[in-house]
């Protein structure tokens, strides 16, 4: 367990909770929390912030269901 972890609350849609659970299961991670930390580490170290935060991505517009396991 590297580093001190702080407990925080985030509001996300239920499909994203399922996505984190799927990532944890698929990659043998301890929890959805660990899956989210992996994503945040990627954004912090390797992600192109302009690419990540400048493009509008709407997974729920027009009746779309959001993330699905088949995505």
37 is a domain residue: yes
Whether 69 maps to a domain, the answer reads no
Q: Is residue 54 part of a domain?
A: yes
Is residue 57 domain-resident?
A: yes
Range of the domain at 50: 15-63
Asked if 17 and 32 count as a contact pair (C-beta separation under 8 A), the reply is yes
Residue 31 lies inside a defined structural domain of this protein: yes
Tell me the pLDDT tens digit for each residue of 7-66.
999 999 999 999 999 999 999 999 999 999 999 999 999 999 999 999 888 888 888 888
User: How many domains does one find in the chain?
Assistant: 1
Q: Does 71 have pLDDT greater than 70?
A: no
Cβ atoms of 13 and 64 closer than 8 Å: no
pLDDT of residue 1: 59
In angstroms, rounded to a whole number, what is the distance separating the alpha carbons of residues 33 and 17? 10
Judge whether 5 lies within some domain: no
């Amino acid at each position: 367990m590297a580093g001190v972890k702080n407990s925080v609350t985030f509001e996300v849609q239920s499909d994203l909770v399922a996505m984190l659970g799927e990532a944890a299961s698929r990659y043998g991670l301890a929890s959805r929390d660990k899956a989210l930390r992996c994503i945040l580490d990627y954004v912090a170290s390797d992600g192109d912030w302009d690419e990540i935060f400048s493009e509008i991505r709407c997974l729920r517009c027009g009746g779309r269901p959001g993330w699905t396991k088949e995505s």
